[in-house]
Structure 1
């Protein structure tokens, strides 16, 4: 029998990506589902031949790990609850809307020796992950230009009715995708300056340790013809573009399960663990504060490992 996963969440991403990947993974068992709407939890459990739980703690008692597909302000506290129960964590991005909650997650997983992975979708495509690792090892980069313009507020889009996305916008929803490929190459972000433009676009300059500068732009409300995803590095060897992804979301989530299982077998530590997820939250929080205050904002430093 494989590692027993409990799935927290019943929305589109939970149903079509996480549950699908867990159900077909040869070394994982989708052992139960919990959701804020018991009827939706029951329907999802029935679809994948597993059990719905009305109580989170009952689900936690029955599994080894949790996969969470919930809004970040809900995910953070439930992930803490799972970690304190000794469960390994496979989280969505961003891990929370607060650096304080993310810091607690790091402390709890460190103290208990728990495996953790944060699902930044593109980092689980082989070509993109190899590009990021290679560029980071190569060094010599002066900066990056990164743009992710999505358009989710169209009829039929499964994410367009999400209240947290409407409130927090592209900075918090797609900003993590940009940071997940820029930060490992340019290094830790020390300061952010950000402004808001038309259609809820956020433009952020990130100053990294060592002097590199990132220029990031993101929105969930781009005109149809303006949708794009592009990351370009520049430095001593000129310009280099991030390749396209080579996995579907279900395949990528399966790769995230593989990386969690590897930690369970060999010990915690992954480039996309909760410590990295925490650092992404700290950058987003600083960018949001910069938009609000009109000033450059220092990024809250991560604490030492426990």
Structure 2
């Protein structure tokens, strides 16, 4: 499959670019970015060619991988889907529900494949653990806490991201939490949220299975306090996501590429990305109210 990469930021350098370049089922056809010099540098690093026109790159490929801010991702995903291109997307799918729905509708209308990269859902060990908990059932409650330190004392390559500064932990790490809670506890039927320190959000959900869940989401945790904690409690006892279960992000993204190449509908498709966006928007509205 010929794939074009849209985006030249840190995530494109760390994850999308290396995973696409290394995948045996992919020909990385080219790179486009908003800064031509950055596109040239990344293309040279990956052994491909830079494009100055995103539409020209879309026209030359079978699929596009998008590593752009959410509002731009939605715009280009719609354009690519309308041209019949398969989509490897990132979370969150879009910055608004309307844009996320437009992406999901474009994918459905074009009949193309879509995969949204929720890291834990494509990490082999983490995905297996999530699947085990979903199969076990009988859960009373759960929690999925993401304490990011992007804006902490230590420098992060993602600290200069304008959309992360605007949207905070709810929109950046909130999708990770939801990608674990929803397949185990069911869809969210009630959404509540409260402010914590800085960008911290305390999220509370009621699920259609009757279970409830909570999530603490932040990008401003002190570096010594950073980390991820996921736990479910129910008739099977207590299940806790093992520490350091996640492997290399490029390996996980390689499995997302596998899913796109397979062509079959995937649980983490644009429609699931839309549902996650809807819940994030509900939480944002609750915070504003």
> Secondary structure at the residue paired with 1:206?
strand
What's the counterpart of residue 80 of structure 1? Answer: 78
CA contact (8 A) 2:169 2:200 kept: yes
CA contact (8 A) 2:139 2:211 kept: yes
CA distance in structure 2 between the aligned counterparts of 1:83 and 1:239, rounded to whole angstroms:
42
Matched, 1:12 2:20: no
What's the counterpart of residue 164 of structure 1? Answer: 163
> Secondary structure at the residue paired with 1:211?
coil
1:239-254 equivalences under 5 Å are 239-243=238-242, 244-254=244-254
CA distance in structure 2 between the aligned counterparts of 1:247 and 1:89, rounded to whole angstroms:
24
How many equivalent pairs are there?
Answer: 287
Structure 1, unaligned runs of 5 or more:
294-306
Which stretch of structure 1 is more off in the superposition, 116-125 or 151-160? 151-160
Structure 2, unaligned runs of 5 or more:
none
User: How far does the alpha carbon of each residue in 1:101-157 deviate from its partner, in whole angstroms, 9 at most, with x for none?
Assistant: 111212221122211110111111111111212221221111211111011124531
What's the counterpart of residue 203 of structure 1? Answer: 202
User: How far does the alpha carbon of each residue in 1:25-58 deviate from its partner, in whole angstroms, 9 at most, with x for none?
Assistant: 1110110111111111111111112111111110
CA distance in structure 2 between the aligned counterparts of 1:155 and 1:36, rounded to whole angstroms:
27
Which stretch of structure 1 is more off in the superposition, 238-247 or 123-132? 238-247
Matched, 1:276 2:275: no
What's the counterpart of residue 27 of structure 1? Answer: 25
Which residue of 273, 281, 287 corresponds with 1:285?
281
Q: CA RMSD in A?
A: 1.1
What's the counterpart of residue 38 of structure 1? Answer: 36
Which stretch of structure 1 is more off in the superposition, 154-163 or 59-68? 154-163
TM-score by length of 2: 0.96
> Secondary structure at the residue paired with 1:10?
coil
1:118-157 equivalences under 5 Å are 118-153=116-151, 154-157=153-156
CA contact (8 A) 1:122 1:245 kept: no
1:246 is displaced (CA, Å) by 3.8
TM-score by length of 1: 0.91
